[in-house]
């Protein structure tokens, strides 16, 4: 068995070598691990796809948690009436307001049986980054500069900032990778001072308990940890697996997932090769799709369910400080996807033409968004060359 410290040193630059046994397990045994299809809220006007080896048959359009609050949730009830059956949330959305809003929607055991519910462990990465940063701040200036150079080199070698692969979905997104890569550059020398403590697991346990209390539920179908992984190293943390195993044994969660906006192909590949992640929600759209297709195909082959996010945000945004978006993006989706639909709707349709993903996640801000976006489920189009 590989030594823990060597495992942590390897990082994603050597993930293929460090994870041979888990990768082989994931790929060779995917078919044996698949669960039987599990249906909830099946309706004739909605299309469904299996979420990898979990067996969960989820609606092609799933509900994003950003708009949900205790004063704005009726549109979700409308979506459920139309066959949507997957609800996404996180403690970070409205500082828990999203999860409290879902409590008003799923307020009985019969309603709980109609949907799959996913929450995330928000803030997990801040612990890892803080622990490494505290060590970094105490180092001599020469050592600091060497670490910063190593972090920049790793980031450059992986191409995570390459235009077309990296897309800005919120202000400060690119800077959010800085602490992650600083930590990654320090793993080889300082992992023994940071990893294997109780802080990781204690935070996960507390996060799940808080989410259960805010939603008024007894369990979640999927727990995503980390929330917003920036790099492969962040899905190679054994304490995540250990905490998940305990939560699963206690009946509080069923499947392990991760979400990622930055380096989504790298994180998806690492999660797949780990053999531990059942679901990955990753940025996937008409702009970065060429970078993502192989990783998504590999995940499907290994039984990992993939949910595409930020599909519409490649061509539309509610962040005013990101406007105007480049016109060429809008022109591209209008050229590739035929018809008179709005560009964001075309962006969802484009993503859903990929049979290797299970669904796209959509922020259903009001009933108009519900009616428009849910109408796309099951739509098949002949894409034009890009």
Beta bridge pairs of residue 142: none
260: tokens are 């990622």
Beta bridge pairs of residue 307: 281, 359
pLDDT of 302 over the 80 cut: yes
Q: What is the pLDDT of residue 195?
A: 87
C-alpha distances in Å from residue 344, one per residue of 39, 50, 153, 373: 28, 24, 36, 9
365: tokens are 């801000």
- Chain segment 86-104, per-residue pLDDT in tens: 999 999 999 999 999 999 9
15: tokens are 């993930």
**Using 50, 70 and 90 to split pLDDT, how confident is the model at 9?**
very low
Q: What is the pLDDT of residue 11?
A: 42
pLDDT of 34 over the 90 cut: no
Cβ neighbours of 355 (radius 10 Å): 9
Q: What is the pLDDT of residue 33?
A: 63
- Chain segment 171-189, per-residue pLDDT in tens: 999 999 999 999 999 999 9
Q: What is the pLDDT of residue 8?
A: 41
- Chain segment 219-232, per-residue pLDDT in tens: 999 999 999 999 99
What is the average pLDDT value for the chain, to the nearest integer?
Answer: 92
Q: Which of 20-34, 62-76, 238-252 comes out lowest in average pLDDT? A: 20-34
Alpha helices in the chain, H assignment, sequence order: 4-10, 15-18, 20-28, 30-33, 74-81, 97-105, 109-112, 124-137, 141-158, 178-194, 199-215, 238-249, 264-274, 289-301, 327-336, 343-352, 367-374
CA 271/CA 7 separation, integer angstroms: 15
pLDDT of 324 over the 80 cut: yes
**Using 50, 70 and 90 to split pLDDT, how confident is the model at 35?**
confident
pLDDT of 110 over the 90 cut: yes
386 or 73: which leads in pLDDT: 73
Domains of the chain by start residue, with CATH: 4-123+198-373 (3.20.20.100), 127-191 (no CATH)
* 153-163 exposure pattern, b = at least 16 Cβ within 10 A, e = fewer: ebbeebebeee
**Using 50, 70 and 90 to split pLDDT, how confident is the model at 10?**
very low
What's the rounded mean pLDDT across residues 122-136?
97
What's the rounded mean pLDDT across residues 275-304?
98
205 Ramachandran zone, left/alpha/beta (phi>0; psi -120 to 50): alpha
122 contacts 207 by C-beta, under 8 angstroms = yes
Q: What is the pLDDT of residue 30?
A: 45
**Using 50, 70 and 90 to split pLDDT, how confident is the model at 19?**
very low
């Amino acid at each position: 068995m590989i030594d823990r410290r060597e495992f942590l040193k390897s990082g994603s630059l050597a993930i293929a070598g460090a994870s041979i046994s888990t990768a082989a397990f994931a790929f060779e045994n995917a078919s044996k691990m698949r669960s039987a299809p599990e249906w909830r809220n099946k309706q004739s006007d909605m299309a469904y796809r299996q979420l990898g080896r979990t067996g969960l048959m989820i609606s092609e359009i799933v509900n994003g948690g950003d708009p949900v609050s205790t004063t704005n949730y009726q549109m979700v009830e409308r979506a459920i009436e139309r066959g949507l059956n997957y609800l996404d949330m996180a403690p970070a959305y409205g500082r828990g307001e999203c999860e409290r809003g879902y409590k008003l929607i799923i307020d009985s055991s019969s309603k709980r049986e109609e949907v799959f519910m996913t929450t995330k462990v928000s803030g997990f990465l801040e612990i890892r980054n803080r622990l490494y940063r505290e060590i970094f701040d105490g180092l001599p200036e020469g050592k600091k500069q060497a670490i910063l150079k190593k972090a920049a080199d790793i980031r450059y070698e992986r191409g995570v900032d390459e235009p077309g692969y990296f897309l800005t979905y919120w202000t400060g997104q690119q800077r959010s990778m800085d602490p992650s890569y600083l930590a990654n550059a320090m793993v080889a020398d300082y992992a023994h001072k940071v990893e294997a403590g109780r802080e990781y697991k204690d935070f996960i346990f507390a996060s799940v308990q808080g989410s259960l209390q805010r939603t008024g539920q007894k369990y979640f179908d999927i727990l995503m940890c980390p929330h917003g992984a920036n790099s492969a190293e962040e899905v190679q943390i054994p304490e995540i697996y250990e905490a998940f195993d305990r939560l699963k044994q206690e009946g509080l969660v069923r499947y392990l997932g991760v979400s990622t906006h930055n380096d989504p192909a790298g994180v998806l590949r690492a999660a797949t090769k780990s053999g531990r992640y059942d679901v990955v929600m990753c940025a996937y759209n008409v702009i970065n799709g060429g970078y993502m297709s192989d990783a998504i195909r590999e995940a499907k082959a290994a039984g990992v369910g993939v949910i595409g996010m930020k599909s519409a945000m490649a061509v539309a945004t509610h962040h005013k400080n990101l406007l105007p978006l480049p016109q060429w993006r809008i022109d591209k989706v209008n050229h590739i996807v035929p018809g008179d639909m709005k560009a964001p709707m075309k962006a969802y349709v484009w993503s859903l033409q990929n049979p290797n993903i299970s669904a796209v996640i959509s922020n259903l801000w009001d009933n108009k968004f519900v009616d428009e976006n849910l109408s796309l489920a099951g739509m098949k189009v002949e894409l034009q060359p890009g």
